[in-house]
Amino acid sequence: MRVEVAYSPRAGEVDVVALDLPAGATVADALGASGLLSKHGLEAATLRLGVWGKVKEATAPLRERDRVEIYRPLKVDPKEARRQRYKRHLETVAARAAASGKKA
């Protein structure tokens, strides 16, 4: 069965490996066969994995044309990132208002 394993080491870059695996293969089998763990220095025990955007265990069986995804840990909590963007937005609006002599 044909499957892909994908990992994005950084934004804008994706490393995808296409594999032919025997029927009944699992997510762990695909990870091992892909070589991405050793190529990127990843620890299998600490990874979050998924198939087509849905989180799966390493023991989950695969189907024809599945795409196994290795997820990176978040650098910033999404709520905190949203707060920071809003704060920058307010500062920009205030700076533009001050430059034009208007009240923000």
Sequence-separated (6 or more) residues with CB below 8 Å from residue 59: 26, 27, 28
Query: How many folded domains does the chain comprise?
Result: 2
Beta bridge partners of 54: 51
Domain containing residue 79: 75-104
Residues 27 and 52 in one domain: yes
Residues 15 and 57 in one domain: yes
Residues 57 and 32 in one domain: yes
Residues 56 and 84 in one domain: no
The tens place of each residue's pLDDT in the chain, 104 residues long, gives 999 999 998 888 999 999 999 999 999 999 999 999 889 888 888 889 999 999 999 999 999 999 999 998 777 788 888 999 999 999 999 888 888 876 65
Residues 63 and 12 in one domain: yes
Give the domain CATH number at 11: 3.10.20.30
